[in-house]
Amino acid sequence: MAQRTAKKKKGAKTEKARKPWGGRFTEATNALVEEYTASIQYDWRLFPYDIAGSVAHAAMLGKTGIITEREARKIINGLKGILQEITDGKLEFSMELEDIHMNIENRLVRKIGPVGGKLHTARSRNDQVALDLRMYLRDEIMEIRRLLRGLQKTVIGLADRNQDAVMPGYTHLQRAQPVLFGHHLLAYYEMFERDRDRLADCYRRVNIMPLGAGALAGTVLPINRKMVGDLLGFGGIAENSMDAVSDRDFAVEFVSVCSQIMVHLSRLAEELVLWSSAEFGFITIADAYTTGSSIMPQKKNPDVAELSRGKAGRVFGNLTALLTIMKGLPLSYNRDMQEDKEPVFDTADTVSQALAVMAAMLDSITVHRDAMRHAAEDGFITATDLADYLVRKGLPFRQAHEVVGRAVLKALELTCGLKDLPLAEYKKLSALITSDVYRSLSVDASVGRRISYGGTAPANLKKRLAALKKLVK
Ligand code: ARG
């Protein structure tokens, strides 16, 4: 594996000559400053993008005659060799060379000689780093969209296998109306679909090619930005050189979309924590996705779900960090912007991991339908159905609500549920109530009648599942 950590040799004198920018300096960089300003410890992972970007840039320099085709070929071959060296773990990165861009360029010059120094013609690290980050994010966005789709498939599978499971639906975490477990689960399908959509939209703005902006003002050399953009598969070219090097909207947007994904994962995680508790007893999470306690031998804890909830905080922190880094920066590039990498990388890593583990864990759960149904058969959960029964008999809803409220009071007094309240008691509350009322009070009738579009009826679930299974195939 690659030696991806930049090692700082203790007491080593920093050689001014090694710095690509060392010309106007007479003093070596202070060792603390060297460490403080370096980003190679984390930006090494941009290397495949940095090299791909440089290959395209070199090809363009050759094609436009800014360098000779021969020089371009030499540079490109050198870069391909370096890609192999890094992949094989044979290139040791150096902190003295600050970042991945200068580490690679330095290696190129050592490898192919002074002609390597022509690569940075008509380019600056400011447009280079923007390019690398955009290319990195394109891949991450595609990967996260793929992981979201995987999780959607898990959700669909679980709903499909448990089509007949009924559970209490909640508002205020109080039992509200019975719903199908599958219907509840498919709510998450919708959230993840919106997340996928947001990522696709974010991708359009990430997929803009900044190279050719130079440091900030463009270049006097006859470059062909369109060619570089096409070679790298970009959808467009940044219109304004200053915007190209100062813009990090695309990174903020990515972390923002990821924050929303984490909100969804965190809410699902919270439900799994609740459902797997003894108090609910709706599900059991497989051993492989839980952990034990070092002191209480009986414990089996939903740590994976808890961490998914907790890691949301981490991603929101990254969003706040990025926004705060950017908010006071005058145009164009400022070194503050180097601080964008860690929040972006951490966000992509955290979200990818959270999505993968959530899909696996969710697939592992055992659903306790009896416990769910038992909870759904709570004495008053079909109160709305009773009101709707009266509405069907012509009573205005507000009056029906009042009648049912009084029925609930009466049932509480008699310590029974609505379906055990004698017909005589119902008759006292409303003459409209007849013996057919009891049919409206069952959980299955309640769920079965909710056939309004998007409602929880089994017929709806079946239809929706069939459509989704086709869609995600
Ligand atoms: N490592 C730097 C970053 O991540 C690259 C750009 C440096 N540019 C500069 N002018 N110092 O932002």
What is the chain's mean pLDDT, rounded?
94
Band (pLDDT 50/70/90 cuts) for residue 291 is confident
- Calpha distance 15→28 (Å, rounded): 6
Residues 211 and 229 in one domain: yes
Place of tokens 């459509």: 467
What lies within 8 Å, CB to CB, of 473 at 6+ separation is none
For residue 449, how far is its CA from the centre of ligand 1 (angstroms)?
Answer: 62
pTM of the prediction? 0.92
C-beta separation of 380 from 417 below 8 A: yes
Those residues with Cβ within 8 angstroms of residue 356's Cβ, 6 or more apart along the chain or in another chain: 147, 150
Ligand 1 test: best mutation among 335, 336, 339, 342, most atoms within 8 Å of CB? 335
- First and final CA of the chain: distance in angstroms? 36
pLDDT at position 3 over 50: no
Do both 284 and 415 map to the same domain?
no
What's the sign of the alpha-carbon dihedral 254, 255, 258, 260?
A: negative
The β-bridge relationship of strands 174-180 and 208-209 is: unpaired
- Token pair, residue 181, equals 């477990």
Dig out the tokens for 398 from the structure: 């507000």
Q: Identify the H or E element spanning 31.
A: helix 31-37
Please answer whether residues 46 and 84 qualify as being in contact, where contact means their C-beta atoms are separated by less than 8 angstroms: no
Q: Which atom of ligand 1 is nearest to the CA of 39?
A: 1
At 359-390, the pLDDT tens digits run: 999 999 999 999 999 999 987 999 999 999 99
CATH code, domain carrying 100: 1.10.275.10
Domain count, the chain: 3
Is residue 85 domain-shared with residue 152, that is, in the same domain?
no
Q: Length of the chain in residues, anyone?
A: 473
Give me the pLDDT at residue 22, please: 82
Residue 275 phi/psi, 5-degree rounding, is -60, -30
Cα–Cα nearest to 155, from 34, 265, 30: 265
* Minimal-distance CA residue to ligand 1 atom 7: 125
301 DSSP β-pair partners: 291
* Ligand 1 neighbourhood includes 40 CB (under 6 angstroms): no
Considering only the C-alpha atoms of the chain, give the largest distance between any 2 of them, rounded to a whole number of Å.
101
- 169: DSSP letter: E
What angle, rounded to 10 degrees, do the helices at 100-112 and 47-63 form? 60
CATH value at residue 381: 1.10.40.30
Q: Is residue 205 part of a domain?
A: yes
> Quick check: 5 pLDDT over 50?
no
Same structural domain for residues 113 and 148?
no
Domain range for 394: 375-472
Residue 315's pLDDT is: 98
In a domain, 174, yes or no: no
| Structure tokens given for 117 | 């120094």
How many whole angstroms from 336 Cα to the centroid of ligand 1? 9
